[in-house]
Structure 1
Amino acid sequence: MASPVLTDAFIDSLESSVAELDRAETLPPACYTDAGIYAFEKEALFNHEWLCVGREDWVKEPGDYFTTQIIGEPIVVARARDGVVRAMSSVCQHRGMLVAEGKGNTRGFVCPYHHWVYGLDGKLVNAPAMERTCDFDKKKIRLPGFKVETWLGFLFINFDPDAAPLTPRLAGVAEALAGYDLANAESATTMTGQFAWNWKVMFENNNDGYHASKLHQGPLHDFVPSELATFPEWSAQDAGFLRFNGTLHPDASFNPTQRAVLPVFPKLTELDRGRMTFANVPPTLSLVLTSDVVIYLILRATGPETMEQDTGILVAPGASQNPGFPHRLEMIMTSAGKIIAQDMHVDARVQMGLRSRFAPRGRYSWQEGAQGQFNQWLVPRYRAAWNRMKSKTATPVAAE
């Protein structure tokens, strides 16, 4: 869908959002509401960036699979008999029916419509009553596959077969998170929700330190004051960025005691235990890391003003074996749930405000450093995609 908003002048106007933070403006409201810009983002971002789809421990055993979707693309992730994790379109290559839903363990994927059968590697195994179809060769048919990469236990896919590897561009983030040993962390719970706001509204709220001491003021959050936020430098080559937020005491955690109630991740340094860490891998993954719990948010855009999100909890290996684990986790989830409810109320109202003719391009506080970093990730990708689109539509000059 073409957008009347999307012009050279609009793209040029984004440069003010990547200025130094004390001079920068927020993104134009149309970036959060316009259907044409969302369509443009599919090419500018989602078709070429690494997208988090889940955790590797969701497919521990051969035959394990789960399904998900992003920008309207149905996806199935499965561990095949050879132990390799593969990500594929879950669209049957016959008539478009989905061959998999939900999650589970299976020997293969059977399209419920006409019973075409695909292996865990995506290859077509059987297609009933196709022997009279001219030039039909089942060996040439398979579910379209995507590149897959695992980073700290998180599974990422890329629709672009020529995409550069992700892990080298997250070396700085991985180093900062090393003490959590996330690849071996234990999954405690996961939930999925649908939301009526743009994915960037959610992503920006997740990494915004400015609002924390205001919106979340009270005993569940006062021990993480906004004025103790810091924003490590990052480069344009990096695929993610960080925010650290000092705490008023070590091992601070979101529960009524304000301190860790589950086993602390055993490899954390004293520095790690004196702060909370927020890690962002746009456009799909945000992490909130405390001494005893890691909250991860997997964002999945579904439209210009809608999205889904998988929210999960990671704990130290073996933490769930503690007899008091369910009750202690409930303490954390109840407190975190109250904070999340405040955030979601704001997200919904922000989306409403961004639709208004009076919606501004505002200015940033120093406590919004991660927003500036997000803009520095986003805007160059917008500009590059815009230039690609213009070059494809440019009229060739006739040779004389």
Structure 2
Amino acid sequence: MSPFFLNDEFFDSLESSIQEIEHANTLPPLCYTDATFFDFEKRALFDHEWLCVGREDWVPNPGDFYTTSVVNEPIVVVHDRDGTIRAMSSVCQHRAMLVAEGAGNTRTFTCPYHHWVYNLKGDLINAPAMEKTCNFHKETTGLPNFKLEIWHGFIFINFNNSAEPLAPRLTALEPILANYEIADAEGPAPDRDIQYSFSWKVMFENNNDGYHANRLHQGEYHDYIPSELAKFPESLPKETAGFYRTNGTLHKDASFNPTQKALMPIFPKLNEEERNRMAFANLPPSLSLVLTCDAVIYLILRADGPESHQLDLGVLFAKGAMDDPDFDKKMEMVVERALDINAQDIHVDELVQKGLRSRYAPRGRYSWQEGAQRQFNTWLVPRYRAQWEKMKRKGQ
């Protein structure tokens, strides 16, 4: 590892990013651009934080599977015949060939290279012509399984099998999410594996940034959700694994479509306050939720490099919404508006990434309307510092 940022001075400087918003600075630009820092970040975050890899309803039936990846680790998620959803490495334990591609339904995973066969638990059940190989044991040569937890229908994995459970660290989000009943919500197939050439943190910050909302998206796109009605919780539990903000709307039942009002059925348990605002819930480093009165948009971010990531993008509606004979027409209107807003966001994200590479890229100051960025920093910085302290103890 290059030592240029591995020093106490650098990590002490990050503390200014978690001060109160009126005093805080943005993170150093190298945190978004540098390959060596990304290697450090994988150890600080991705090796032991909970990572969203999909939805339970992506594998509704026994034998259903899909493949994905996070920080370039190939993963297969499968609905086992016993009803259990499992996630495991899709790397064959013979010569590292991938045993699964895409999605489908299967009884086993067969390596196409040498036909080693694994069951849906990852156990190796057939390895042709290995009978002469010394000290080879099928029972200890299965696909590595990952710790898995399902939260509101979202599938999370952890590469650290000793990790503490996720759900107890998300209690701060429950009052915001409860009335949407996301676990039972339904939606069309998501757009998956969208590739972007900017840091996952650039997109995560943009998803949570109320400051730009009716500036970049001014006019019919966002004026009915003004930035000055953004609210941030005064405090969150120190060990929280997620954070949120809310944003008042200028009319009841506002939603992202050309009519600016709900097209789909309202989530039936929403109260009056919830129908007069939107909410944005965030579970770094991999899941952002946009909650409106009739839709929950989810973004699953999958980092794969210092300046690139992949995205799975989907939308959920109240149970029964897809039975409406006009659902496809309404969905077309929702997608139309989403694509317009997304195009504006992606354009600025790409330009921000270019700017972050500049020798003149600053550690800027925040507006009060960027409170969610400070929340993100208060999640990131202690984890960066903990990894640095660990490295110092080990003399790395």
TM-score range, shorter chain: over 0.9
CA apart distance, 1:376:
0.4
Q: 1:5, 1:30 within 8 Å by CA — same for their partners in 2?
A: no
Q: Secondary structure at the match of 1:391?
A: helix
Superposed, which structure 2 residues align to 1:121-270 within 5 Å?
Answer: 121-192=121-192, 193-232=194-233, 233-270=235-272
CA apart distance, 1:107:
0.2
CA apart distance, 1:2:
3.1
Match of 2:335 in 1: 333
Q: Secondary structure at the match of 1:270?
A: coil
Tell me the distance in 2 between the aligned counterparts of 1:90 and 1:392.
Answer: 32
Tell me the distance in 1 between the aligned counterparts of 2:238 and 2:47.
Answer: 19
Q: How many residues align?
A: 394
Deviations 1:305-340 (A, max 9, x none): 010000011011110110100010110110111011
1:151 aligned partner, one-letter code:
W
CA apart distance, 1:188:
2.0
Does 1:34 find its partner at 2:34? yes
Match of 2:300 in 1: 298
CA apart distance, 1:91:
0.3
Q: 2:230, 2:369 within 8 Å by CA — same for their partners in 1?
A: yes
Q: 1:188, 1:315 within 8 Å by CA — same for their partners in 2?
A: no
Tell me the distance in 2 between the aligned counterparts of 1:26 and 1:172.
Answer: 25
| Residue segments in structure 1 that go unaligned for 5+ positions in a row | 395-400
- Identity score, percent: 63
Q: Secondary structure at the match of 1:347?
A: helix
Deviations 1:171-192 (A, max 9, x none): 1212211110000000223112
Tell me the distance in 1 between the aligned counterparts of 2:3 and 2:353.
Answer: 19
TM-score (norm 2): 0.98
Tell me the distance in 2 between the aligned counterparts of 1:251 and 1:186.
Answer: 19
Q: 2:124, 2:141 within 8 Å by CA — same for their partners in 1?
A: yes
Q: Secondary structure at the match of 1:148?
A: strand
Q: Secondary structure at the match of 1:161?
A: coil
Match of 1:397 in 2: none
Match of 1:93 in 2: 93
Q: 1:3, 1:35 within 8 Å by CA — same for their partners in 2?
A: no
Tell me the distance in 1 between the aligned counterparts of 2:255 and 2:6.
Answer: 44
Match of 1:317 in 2: 319
CA apart distance, 1:3:
4.9
1:234 aligned partner, one-letter code:
L
Q: Secondary structure at the match of 2:335?
A: helix
Match of 1:398 in 2: none
Q: 2:288 aligns with which of 265, 277, 286?
A: 286
Q: 1:149, 1:166 within 8 Å by CA — same for their partners in 2?
A: yes
Tell me the distance in 2 between the aligned counterparts of 1:235 and 1:138.
Answer: 46
Tell me the distance in 1 between the aligned counterparts of 2:189 and 2:347.
Answer: 23
Deviations 1:173-215 (A, max 9, x none): 1221111000000022311210000110000000000000100
Deviations 1:321-378 (A, max 9, x none): 1010001011011011101110000000000000000000000000000000000000
| Residue segments in structure 2 that go unaligned for 5+ positions in a row | none
TM-score (norm 1): 0.97
Tell me the distance in 1 between the aligned counterparts of 2:175 and 2:142.
Answer: 38
Match of 2:365 in 1: 363
Tell me the distance in 2 between the aligned counterparts of 1:347 and 1:241.
Answer: 22
